A and B are shown apart, each in its own frame.
Chain A
Amino acid sequence: QQQVKQSPQSLIVQKGGISIINCAYENTAFDYFPWYQQFPGKGPALLIAIRPDVSEKKEGRFTISFNKSAKQFSLHIMDSQPGDSATYFCAASIETGANNLFFGTGTRLTVIP
């Protein structure tokens, strides 16, 4: 059973456009929601993370929007660049427990110059 559902599976965006990736979860015990970026042949790298006490977090061109009641969160990449082309994973964990991450299935982002 997939604990975190992610969409879309792939996304093509023009340079300068906004990339939006959505995730949903069921387990209300989750209290930590990170996004990871992964390039081919590399391990995932933490991009940005949010906890349920806030509805939005922004770091540079990356913003997480969090809707606790809907159990959904999304990643927005503003002014998308070709260098952002990668696979993005949302994840969730119970930070006070083992904190093992449950990952979504990934979104392959391609930014066209």
Chain B
Amino acid sequence: DTGVSQNPRHKITKRGQNVTFRCDPISEHNRLYWYRQTLGQGPEFLTYFQNEAQLEKSRLLSDRFSAERPKGSFSTLEIQRTEQGDSAMYLCASSLMSMGGTQYFGPGTRLLVL
């Protein structure tokens, strides 16, 4: 399977705990994006990487959120001191810059903060 994969698919945590999600993009895709989707809404951009460089961050990405993409391959998104408002689907997408705008999304990680 050469699609975007995300792990875990579901995560339940208690308020105040830290969580980390992983995204494996399509092989050789040099751009990787993180989005957050709440129930009944469209995905909202959080941050993106070109290779290993994090080039843009949304205002939605508070200082409790951190993302990395070491070596320009997989990426991790960590949320520290989770809050109930962090409950959402976290989506990862990847694209090949030479292919223009086409972003391919993974299945997402659904986070529930109790």
Contact = CB atoms under 8 A, between A and B. Distances in A.
A103 B42 contact: yes
Contacts of A98: 48, 55-56
Interface in B37-62: 40-45, 48, 55-56, 58
B25 interface: no
Contact of B42 (A46, A93, A105): A105
Contact of B106 (A32, A43, A99, A101): A43
B96 to A, nearest CB: 11
B105 interface: yes
Interface string A53-81: 00000000000000000000000000000
Which interface class (under 10, 10 to 19, 20 to 34, 35 or more) fits B? 20 to 34
Which among A43, A93, A104 has the greatest number of chain B C-beta atoms within 10 A? A43
Contact of A100 (B33, B91, B105, B106): B33
B40 A106 contact: yes
A99 B95 contact: yes
B104 interface: yes
A106 B100 contact: no
A103 B56 CA distance: 17
Given A42-B107, A43-B107, A44-B91, A103 B101 contact: no
Interface of A: 6, 32, 34, 36, 41-46, 49, 89, 91, 93, 95, 98-106
Closest 5 CB pairs of A and B: A103-B42, A43-B105, A32-B101, A100-B45, A95-B101
